[in-house]
Structure 1
Amino acid sequence: MSDTYEISSDATPGPLTLPLDAWHRARGGRMVPFAGYSMPVQYEGIIAEHLWTRESAGFFDVSHMGQLYVAGEGAEAALEALLPIDLRTLRVGGVRYSLLLDDFGGVIDDLMVTRWESGFYLVVNGATKHGDIAWIEERLPESVKLTHLTDNALFALQGPKAVEALEPLAAGVAALGFMQGGAFKLGGVDARISRSGYTGEDGFEIAVPAAEAEAVAELICAQPQVKPIGLGARDSLRLEAGLPLYGHDLSREIEPVEAGLTFAIGKRRRAEGGFPGAERVQEALLEGPARRRVGLVLEGRMAAREGAAVLMGAERIGTVTSGGFSPSMGQPIAMAFVSAEHAAPDTNLHLDVRGRSIAATIVPLPFVPHRYVRKGAA
């Protein structure tokens, strides 16, 4: 298990239980506290689960995350005032990655936004969802309402055989492209499904009523391509895919440009501004950030964890924010923020890992190529 997973100080006291709590335990899930919930960290082992997802299809229970619905007169303008996203170009069923920023451009949270027929569906991180809701509600006009969809469960089905497993159960999902979604029947259950995920693989995120969670989980995991996968492999998969984890690679001390998330700021919004922290973000876009998020490949077998110093000679030039062993590559990898002048690929440096000096090299992200299925922009 990666030490990335821990209870956030923003988490609801608990641990609370997921709709599938008994289901996970019956299948041998080893439960740990995360984001205020008891969640499965692994079933048969992190490396086996990781490799299964890369080769076939993994089923993840992510019902701890916050599912929000924002609607009402002026909802589009209200969200654009809070997020650096261009909602005008987001079609019905389109999904976009976005950021909730504070007034100084620091990242409060990262999230997914989908345009539904009459409003916007947001998925925010589980450990920050209550703070996110309060922040958003304070800034919405009276005509716009935020609803926390607490009666929903949320699953992810990830891997190259995810579409093969899901299409027979939810006819039509194979026609979706990456970052597209819609309403489907999944074994007779009303589901909202998008072709998206957090592993770098093709796959889907599936929202269903919590009352139907076990029936849906049974149906999906009965497919021969699918096994349930825990938090440990979810972390190693997203690390290989070069995807940031909030609270580690993202925080209020980090702005989007240095984090390599310029793509999450709409082109129109980069010029116009009009979102929290726009001035700082525009300055970073114009002048370049002082530091950058980079990938690191380490020599040897020892993994670097969050907080390890990144050194150029005797000079500290950065800090590791996520690290672990890559099952796909067979070696330790990490992400770190380093000073911009030392952030070029192929730069050789050292990490201080528990008092040991470990040689490392900067490499482009992602470590493992993304395998999304793109069928035109949403």
Structure 2
Amino acid sequence: MFQRNGIRFVKVVAQPCMFTAQSRSFNLTAQYYQQKELKKTVLHDFHKDNGGKMVGFAGWSMPVQYKDLGLVASHHHTREKASLFDVSHMLQVKIFGKDRIKFIESLIVGDIQGLENDSGTLSLFTNDKGGILDDVIVNVTNDDHLYIVSNAGCGDKITVLYNNALSDFKGDARIEYIDNGLVALQGPLAAKILQNGVNFDLSKMYFMKGFYGKLFGVDNCRITRCGYTGEDGFEISTPREKTVAVTEKLLENEDVKLAGLGARDSLRLEAGLCLYGNDMDETTTPVEASLTWCIGKRRRKEKNFPGAEIILQQIKKKPEKRRVGLVNEGPTARSGASVFDNNGAEIGRVTSGCPSPTLQKNIAMAYVPTESSKIGTLFSVQVRKKVHPAKIVKMPFTPAKYYFPAK
């Protein structure tokens, strides 16, 4: 952090996961952006007191790692036991009114009408050109509202979108912006650990299901079985004044460790999950991003979501480019690395990349021409002015472990 002409410049993590076999540790790649002051989550001081290394991320001061556990060790701990992530910077809202589903469906591609009570789905805000404004989790509650979580970095943009759309909406809908804390407990032991704090049988609560209830005696907690790591886990929205107490209670279990942005990035990449601003943006459509499954069948038939004509045409005729998974030899291919075909022609760019602690391979996501997006296709990637062999592989890179009913 430094100042120039009275303006503070803050480090932002661009790709917090450069792993080398020699050092067996992560290094941070950072860029500077201009900002007067970073926002702080309700757990900010708690992170510092517990050895969190704070960095700027999406306008917020967030922990990238902790002194008692390096990034690679934190990654493995999540895959083997359970880690607790602060995601309080995310935008949380409730939408009320008898036309609340009609309202949210006017902005996104998902079929919310078709969801059962107390269940949710990943969806996408799109613009009139079919570009992705943000990804979002929409939950239909058993109460009188929708509970919705979207990205911190798009918070201002999506707030404007909500407010403008609401002012033009012909129906009964209203928005409540929530100032709750939000933490994510992720890993194979997450359910066992959380079960000690609730009076509900979590074995009956499947992936993307949620409920309101008490957690360790704290009322009005929203618990949703989901996450951003590919592991089983839960996102827990708590009253702001109780967030530290709930966090401390979860950490009483010796199998739970705090984790930061570094491990979160390598975990989500192994799980094949997009990072908004890297792997998709307003110039990328859901079809190009390989997220066509987010578009509900009813919505395709009704053709009434933003950018529907362009998106549905791409589904029918295929887009010019697609997001694919890559593994490459040599040094890690990071965001911005060029992708070349076998004739040496540049045909795409890497959007995210890091060494996989689980697989001990370099993994990445990139956009390439659709005709060249078949699994097994050989390419090369340029890293530090040298090219290295690469190949398209199936995503996710590591198997998802979400909790579903037994077949």
Asked if TM exceeds 0.5, the reply is yes
Q: CA deviation at 1:144?
A: 1.4
Q: Which of the pair has the greater relative contact order for Cα pairs under 8 Å at 6+ separation?
A: 1
Where do residues 10-25 of structure 1 align in structure 2 (5 Å cutoff)? 14-25=37-48
Distance 1:128 1:232 in 2: 20
Question: Do 1:59 and 1:158's aligned partners in 2 also have CA atoms closer than 8 Å?
Answer: yes
Where do residues 80-95 of structure 1 align in structure 2 (5 Å cutoff)? 80-95=105-120
What do residues 323-344 of structure 1 show as CA deviations (whole Å, max 9, x unaligned)? Answer: 0111001121100000011111
Distance 1:322 1:49 in 2: 20
Where do residues 178-327 of structure 1 align in structure 2 (5 Å cutoff)? 178-190=207-219, 191-300=221-330, 302-312=331-341, 313-327=343-357
The normalised TM-score by structure 1 is: 0.95
What do residues 167-215 of structure 1 show as CA deviations (whole Å, max 9, x unaligned)? Answer: 0112323321001000121111121001100000000000001100110
Calculate percent identity across the aligned residue pairs.
42
Instruction: Work out which of the residue numbers 42, 47, 51 in structure 1 matches 2:76.
Output: 51
Q: CA deviation at 1:299?
A: 1.1
Instruction: Work out which of the residue numbers 146, 154, 174 in structure 1 matches 2:175.
Output: 146
Instruction: Work out which of the residue numbers 146, 160, 168 in structure 1 matches 2:188.
Output: 160
What do residues 332-358 of structure 1 show as CA deviations (whole Å, max 9, x unaligned)? Answer: 110000001111111111001120111
Instruction: Work out which of the residue numbers 372, 388, 394 in structure 2 matches 1:358.
Output: 388
Gaps of 5+ in 2: 1-11, 17-29
Q: CA deviation at 1:7?
A: 8.3
The amino acid of 1:47's aligned partner reads V
Question: Which has the larger displacement, 238-247 or 264-273?
Answer: 264-273
Distance 2:303 2:199 in 1: 41
Q: CA deviation at 1:81?
A: 1.3
* CA separation of 1:21 and 1:7: change in aligned 2, threshold 3 A: farther
| 2:144 equivalent in structure 1 | 118
The amino acid of 2:165's aligned partner reads R
Question: Do 1:311 and 1:349's aligned partners in 2 also have CA atoms closer than 8 Å?
Answer: yes
The amino acid of 1:195's aligned partner reads R
Distance 2:32 2:81 in 1: 32
| SS of equivalent residue, structure 2 residue 263 | helix
| SS of equivalent residue, structure 1 residue 192 | strand
The normalised TM-score by structure 2 is: 0.89
Distance 1:343 1:197 in 2: 28
- Taking only aligned residues, the RMSD between alpha carbons, in angstroms, comes to 1.8
The amino acid of 1:329's aligned partner reads L
Instruction: Work out which of the residue numbers 145, 148, 159 in structure 2 matches 1:133.
Output: 159
Question: Do 1:2 and 1:235's aligned partners in 2 also have CA atoms closer than 8 Å?
Answer: no
Question: Do 2:14 and 2:31's aligned partners in 1 also have CA atoms closer than 8 Å?
Answer: no
Q: CA deviation at 1:2?
A: 6.6
Distance 1:169 1:258 in 2: 42
* CA separation of 1:179 and 1:49: change in aligned 2, threshold 3 A: same
Say whether 1:170 aligns with 2:189.
no
Question: Do 1:105 and 1:255's aligned partners in 2 also have CA atoms closer than 8 Å?
Answer: yes
Question: Which has the larger displacement, 160-169 or 13-22?
Answer: 13-22
Where do residues 57-76 of structure 1 align in structure 2 (5 Å cutoff)? 57-76=82-101
Q: CA deviation at 1:154?
A: 0.5
The amino acid of 1:75's aligned partner reads R
| SS of equivalent residue, structure 1 residue 88 | coil
Number of residues paired by the alignment?
374
Q: CA deviation at 1:13?
A: 5.1
Instruction: Work out which of the residue numbers 361, 366, 371 in structure 2 matches 1:341.
Output: 371
Distance 2:101 2:79 in 1: 37
Distance 1:133 1:361 in 2: 40
| SS of equivalent residue, structure 2 residue 395 | coil
Gaps of 5+ in 1: none
The amino acid of 1:16's aligned partner reads K
* CA separation of 1:322 and 1:226: change in aligned 2, threshold 3 A: same
| 2:65 equivalent in structure 1 | 42
Distance 1:376 1:19 in 2: 38
Distance 1:327 1:87 in 2: 36
* CA separation of 1:179 and 1:12: change in aligned 2, threshold 3 A: farther
| 1:33 equivalent in structure 2 | 56
